[in-house]
Amino acid sequence: MAIKVIEINKSVYADSIKLADETRQRLKEQGTCLLNLMASPGAGKTTLLLKTIENLSSYCIGVMEADIEASVDAEKLQAAGVQSIQVHTGGECAMNASMTKQALDEFDTSGLDLVFLENVGNLVCPAEEDVGAHKKVALLSVPEGDDKPLKYPLMFQVVDAVVITKTDARAFFNFDDEAVCERIHQLNPSAEIFFVSAKTGEGLESWCDWVRRNLFV
Amino acid sequence: MAIKVIEINKSVYADSIKLADETRQRLKEQGTCLLNLMASPGAGKTTLLLKTIENLSSYCIGVMEADIEASVDAEKLQAAGVQSIQVHTGGECAMNASMTKQALDEFDTSGLDLVFLENVGNLVCPAEEDVGAHKKVALLSVPEGDDKPLKYPLMFQVVDAVVITKTDARAFFNFDDEAVCERIHQLNPSAEIFFVSAKTGEGLESWCDWVRRNLFV
């Protein structure tokens, strides 16, 4: 089956806050939770998604892959049998409420319990946009370093949870678990933090439990 | 010594192309090469800079550290005795020509052979800006994956060179050197590509040779 690719119209809706709220409300009414997943390029978003969806196999889950170009992630998901569409942002560095609405209009979410938006790989711009998600999650991979909350504070302030990924590489990269938690909680005391390795399965269960608790079903 | 921190005025200059050209011309006349270093968060820009400056110790080199917030990178450079300033972009996801001019106005570059601009960690926005540099370099770290040129093509199109960093982690992350070169050269046939590990020293010599060849001295 060919990958469905949406080329986004960049025109911004007049009232993006209203639009985001409408999206949130409409999805909630139909019982679909929208989870906005944000991170740097290569932090492991797609790999985490694949493992998460496998773990939550009793739920109907779809993925909207947002990228500047290419469809490599949507191809990976489709190969794993995940219902997904590819959104091309036309150069934009993040999804916004209008772009998300356009994508949702093309994606049949009516039977879905959960939709992941895999945002453009970027630790800056996506933090500034309310796309209409019910929950926001940032991934930070161990190779990126434990100092990133200091340098990209907004991302860690706006999210409900942070997943530290590639934890199997912890020793290799001299990553300080305690320091990263302290830095995140200084910015965002209520942020839940999960340490996950998609490779070894470490922490996957707690992360999936958190996702499950946030569904409307 | 306290770190010099420049809080950037976001007002954009009317003619940014003209401003970038003026910066380029002015620096060239005084014999200073400006090199714009761009990459995702945590790709290893600061670590590569420290090793590069150590290797090129016969030259006078300065660094402008651009970050959304915090001064951790400038502190690392200053601790190593490198002449540096910290630029805070006020939330902006990349440096532009006007911001670079403001930073240069505060940084005494008159005796410098080379100034590195360590741009905000971001694989999207910095690619769109001509800051007035003589050369543009993208770093891509092995843990990010060899598919990134497919997903962030503009960055790999606009640069003169690409440094693949953290190559000591190559086996751990199943990174395909040949595939990444092919993807980069498809976008940018003349891009020079270097494989460097700041940890083991692999490839550092060739990368530093390239930097040396691009100086005006």
Give the DSSP H or E segment for A5.
strand A5-7
Q: Are A123 and B41 in contact (CB under 8 A)?
A: yes
Given the DSSP bridges, would you call strands A161-165 and A135-141 parallel, antiparallel or unpaired? Answer: parallel
Q: What is the 3-state secondary structure (H, E, C) of chain B?
A: CCCEEEECCCCCCCCHHHHHHHHHHHHHHCCCEEEEEECCCCCCHHHHHHHHHHHCCCCCEEEEEEECCCCHHHHHHHHCCCEEEEEECCCCCCCCHHHHHHHHHHCCCCCCCEEEEECCCCCCHHHHCCCCCCEEEEEEEHHHCCCHHHHCHHHHHHCCEEEEECHHHHHHHCCCHHHHHHHHHHHCCCCEEEECCCCCCCCHHHHHHHHHHCCCC
Cα dihedral B167→B169→B171→B175 (10° resolution)? -60
Which of A76, A119, A141, A152 to mutate to test binding with chain B, by most B CBs within 10 Å of its CB?
A152
- Gap between the Cα atoms of B90 and B32, Å rounded: 27
In this complex, which of B72, B145, B173 lies closest to A151 when CB atoms are compared? Answer: B72
- Judging contacts by C-beta atoms under 8 Å, the chain B residues touching residue A126 are none
Confidence of residue A12 (pLDDT cuts 50, 70, 90): low
Per-residue pLDDT at A66: 95
Q: Are A83 and A61 in contact (CB under 8 A)?
A: yes
Give the DSSP H or E segment for A7.
strand A5-7
- Gap between the Cα atoms of A156 and A183, Å rounded: 9
Per-residue pLDDT at B41: 96
Amino acid at A55: N
Maximum alpha-carbon separation in chain B: 48
Per-residue pLDDT at A147: 96
User: Which residues in chain B land under pLDDT 70?
Assistant: 1-3, 8-14
- Taking the CA of residue A65 and the nearest CA in chain B, the distance in Å comes to 12
In this complex, which of B120, B144, B169 lies closest to A124 when CB atoms are compared? Answer: B120
- Judging contacts by C-beta atoms under 8 Å, the chain B residues touching residue A172 are 169, 172
- Gap between the Cα atoms of A4 and A130, Å rounded: 24
- Taking the CA of residue B80 and the nearest CA in chain A, the distance in Å comes to 18
Per-residue pLDDT at B14: 63
Q: Are A123 and A156 in contact (CB under 8 A)?
A: no
Token pair, residue B90, equals 């006020």
Tens digits of per-residue pLDDT, A62-71? Answer: 999 999 888 8
Q: Does the structure show a pLDDT above 60 at A13?
A: no
Q: Are A27 and A81 in contact (CB under 8 A)?
A: no
What average pLDDT does range A139-153 have in this prediction?
96
Q: What percentage of residues in chain A have a pLDDT greater than 70?
A: 95
Q: Does the structure show a pLDDT above 60 at A187?
A: yes
Closest by alpha carbon to B156, among B176, B184, B131, B175?
Answer: B184
The count of C-alpha atoms lying within 13 angstroms of the C-alpha of A12, restricted to the half-sphere facing its C-beta, is: 11
- Judging contacts by C-beta atoms under 8 Å, the chain B residues touching residue A67 are 151
Per-residue pLDDT at A8: 66
Per-residue pLDDT at A15: 82
- From A98-102, A193-197, B142-146, the region with the lowest mean pLDDT: A98-102
- Gap between the Cα atoms of A59 and A205, Å rounded: 15
The count of C-alpha atoms lying within 13 angstroms of the C-alpha of A39, restricted to the half-sphere facing its C-beta, is: 29
Per-residue pLDDT at B195: 98
Subunit contact A153:B69, Cβ cutoff 8 A = yes
Q: Are A138 and A51 in contact (CB under 8 A)?
A: no
Tens digits of per-residue pLDDT, A35-85? Answer: 999 999 999 999 999 999 999 999 999 999 999 888 888 899 999 999 999
- Judging contacts by C-beta atoms under 8 Å, the chain B residues touching residue A166 are 143
- From A5-14, A132-141, A159-168, the region with the lowest mean pLDDT: A5-14
- Taking the CA of residue A73 and the nearest CA in chain B, the distance in Å comes to 9
Place of tokens 């608790």: A213
Subunit contact A145:B42, Cβ cutoff 8 A = yes
Closest by alpha carbon to A106, among A136, A137, A83?
Answer: A83
Q: Give A156 or A8, the one with higher predicted confidence.
A: A156
Subunit contact B143:A70, Cβ cutoff 8 A = no
Subunit contact B154:A67, Cβ cutoff 8 A = no
Q: Give A14 or A213, the one with higher predicted confidence.
A: A213
What average pLDDT does range A10-33 have in this prediction?
87
Contacts of A211 (CB under 8 A, 6+ apart): A35, A52, A56, A114
The strands making up B192-195's β-sheet, listed across from edge to edge, are B4-7, B83-88, B61-67, B114-118, B33-38, B135-141, B161-165, B192-195
Subunit contact B121:A147, Cβ cutoff 8 A = no
